[in-house]
Amino acid sequence: MLYTLIRVGLILAAGVLLSLAGLRSWLLWITAILVGAMVSFLLLRRQTAEFSQSLTSLTPRRTAGRQAAQDAAAEDALVDQAAESEGDRAPRVGAAESEGGRGNQGDGEEDSVNQDQKPRP
């Protein structure tokens, strides 16, 4: 927070100085931002390092939560895949009946086999 306030202060100070020098309008603020960035790069190395360190310390906590979510999603996908492959190995109930009835609708002999379980002579 302090680092950000110092940088904003440098930009405003540069803006005031450039305004006193005669610069006006949007060119004033673009130049002030560039001058403030250069000055902060040169003078605020220690604060930049501290700010960077504070951001880096937040990263492991955020990535740990993301990693757990990714691991859970991968595990769910493997479980679903295993369930599908188990389903392919097990005989499907009613599959033979529906296939026989659909494929041979016009064949009377096949229908009699399904109904009586004995072929007609």
Cα(22)–Cα(13) distance, rounded to whole angstroms? 14
Please report, for residues 21, 23, 35, 42, 116, the alpha-carbon distance to residue 32 in angstroms, rounded to integers and kept in the order given: 12, 10, 5, 15, 95
**Mean of all residue pLDDT scores within the chain:** 75
Predicted pLDDT of residue 19: 92
Q: What is the dihedral of CA 100, 101, 105, 111, to 10 degrees?
A: 80
Of 92 and 82, which is predicted with more confidence? 82
The three-class DSSP label of residue 76 is helix
Q: Give 91's DSSP letter.
A: P
31 closest CA partner among 44, 48, 18 = 18
% of residues, the chain, pLDDT over 70 = 65
Write out pLDDT tens, residues 45-63.
888 888 888 777 776 666 6
Cα(32)–Cα(16) distance, rounded to whole angstroms? 8
Predicted pLDDT of residue 33: 94
CA 120 to chain centre: 64
